Amino acid sequence: MSLRSALLVAGFALAALNLRPAIAGVSPLLSEIMNDVGLSPAGGGAITTVMVVCLGIFGPLTPLLARRVGLDRTLLAGLLVIAAGVALRGLDGAPMLYVGSALAATAISVMNVSMPGIVKQHFPTRVNLLTGVYVSAVVAGAAASSALVIPVEHATGYGWRGVSALLAVPALLAALLWLPQALRKQAGGQNGPRPFGAVLRSRVTWYVTALMGLQSLTFYVMLAWLPTIFREAGLPADQAGYLLSLTNLVQVGTSLAVPVLAGRRASQVPYVVGAGVLTVFGYLGMLLAPATVPWLWMIVLGVGQGASFALALLIIALRPSDPATVTALSAVAQSVGYVIAALGPLVFGFLRQASGGWTVPLVTGLGVLAAQLVAGWFAGRPATLGKPDP
């Protein structure tokens, strides 16, 4: 591998690592942030809500930016804006907290949509491998940030504001590695998307969008409520936290391996269905016997959810025939998908409050997973966006 190729892959992987820490790093610090800034529980929860909403609504900006400046410079701009956002939210006052969080999430939204197109543009013969690298880096970034922010805070003594500002460092490092690529001559308008109308008219788009949204919903539900489910089942708080870390850790390896295997086949249906079935088993374990071998349920759930996320992004990169259409499909699927996902934790919390237990929410989750299996069946079939469905 040449030096240029090595820098390209390193910059791409490090950029992917920056796609979740600004969001995942909030939760461990939330109590401290609320006390320091003077926020109510609703105000504290609104930080993450604002960020997830931004993930959904700003994705469509990406094809416009890609058409004007190219995908590589769009990614570079995203990294720089993430760094600015996490630094800004450490300043005094609640407005800066929310504005900085929204700014970082907007950049993440643009980068989320850009990444499948960059895979298609720079690694057209290795879409499966580089999708695995990208997705596993995203998952690893989320797991590492949620696990490390408190130890880093204690080690440095900086407080939550300083730790938040430190998240700008990996974003700036990734920008430095990606800078040579961004300075190369860009395709400009030739790299822009096909008209959104053609993408929106394809049934493939809506199969993929449904898969992306439904698997994201089940993921964010577990991210928000899994420790609470285990605690209410009688497990101690620290063990509930370890179980969440376990399922996230399992997703790292799964996210790397599954796209490599699934990308070798014309049809991804067996993998998508298998991932959905494993997620169902994870939900069933928590529904029927949450305190019995909970580590097993978390491993099964982690494999299922990690594979589902990776496969959704792999299919986004595989179905269109060119990078511009990948970016357009990614914008639709991820924007709609994250709006759907944002509803999940809220609806599950309401169902928990209304029913007084977790049976109704988890049975509802199984219904969502049934819909995910149907969407995955259609999304995983061989097809090319813009051509008639098989």
Q: If you average pLDDT over residues 300-325, what whole number do you get? A: 91
The confidence score (pLDDT) of residue 186 equals 60
What is the value of pTM for the model shown?
0.85
Residues 35-59 pLDDT 10s: 888 888 778 877 877 888 888 888 8
Q: What confidence category does residue 389 fall into, taking pLDDT thresholds of 50, 70 and 90?
A: very low
Query: CA 199, CA 222: separation in Å to the nearest integer?
Result: 31
Positive or negative torsion for Cα 196, 384, 184, 11: positive
Please state which of the ranges 77-81, 110-114, 321-325 shows the lowest mean pLDDT.
Answer: 321-325
What amino acid is encoded at 75 in this protein? L
Please state which of the ranges 41-50, 144-153, 233-242, 284-293 shows the lowest mean pLDDT.
Answer: 41-50
Mean pLDDT for all residues in the chain = 87
Q: Is the pLDDT of residue 93 over 90?
A: no
Q: If you average pLDDT over residues 103-114, what whole number do you get? A: 94
Query: CA 231, CA 149: separation in Å to the nearest integer?
Result: 23
Query: CA 346, CA 53: separation in Å to the nearest integer?
Result: 13
Polymer length in residues for the chain: 390
Q: Is the pLDDT of residue 8 over 80?
A: yes
